[in-house]
Structure 1
């Protein structure tokens, strides 16, 4: 099953987004990660790498990120990791929910889960 990692500059935000997505995720592994080593705002590549490993069950991981430097640190973590990983260019909350639903499919792939996450860019809220 494709796993998910939610990367936010705030661990609390990542945890909340993962909690909401988990309502739709069935058995999908969703790992929240964020904050700096002092518990402040930021992202740390080593922590992201650990989350990738925790979320992976062999089918790879789709990552959702909140802001620019989270992308950069996720790219560093991917380079350090052996986990097959893609980053979704999607709004983090809506994308995580879409990805969680897509990951429940027995036919889910990294590409199909990422595509569903990215389709959240076009969802109107009003």
Structure 2
């Protein structure tokens, strides 16, 4: 299976996005990480790395909320022993799409990333 990691500048935002996506995830390993090491707003490459290592599934599709989360996720992925990619997707809608696709027995890291990125084309109105 393919795992999903949500990276946000806010721990609570990451937890909330995971909560919503998990409703669609079935047995998919989905986790969230957010906030700086002092509990404030920000992201941390070491914390992202720990979250990647804690996900039971490999490969992992990573969703990020803002620019510096991309930088820290890239740093963490460089040190990750498994395979991980960042999806260029809206974080909440992308996480839901990821969760659904990752639950498919035919899911691949590419299909899960593509599902996340397809969420950017969905109109809300």
What is the TM-score normalised by the length of structure 2? Answer: 0.98
Partner in structure 1 of residue 63 of structure 2? 64
For the 8 Å contact 1:6–1:32, the answer to whether it is kept is yes
- Cα distance in 2 for partners of 1:4, 1:55 equals 8
Report whether the alignment pairs 1:82 with 2:81: yes
Q: Which residue of 2 aligns with 1:11?
A: 11
The residue number in structure 2 matching 1:123 is: 122
Aligned pair count reads: 125
TM-superposed deviation, 1:89: 0.2
CA distance in 2, matches of 1:67, 1:31: 17
Structure 2 unaligned spans of 5+:
none
d(CA) in 2 for partners of 1:54 and 1:25?
17
Q: How far apart, CA to CA, are the structure 1 residues paired with 2:56 and 2:45? A: 17
User: SS at 2:38's partner residue?
Assistant: coil
* Structure 2 residue aligned with 1:26: 26
1:23-61 CA-partner distances (Å, limit 9, x unpaired)? 00001111110100110000000100011111242x300
Match of 1:106 in 2: 105
Native 8 Å contact 1:49 1:81 kept in 2: yes
Which runs of at least 4 in structure 1 moved beyond 6 Å after TM superposition? none
Shift of 1:66: 0.1
Mapped contact 1:4–1:100 kept (Cα < 8 A): yes
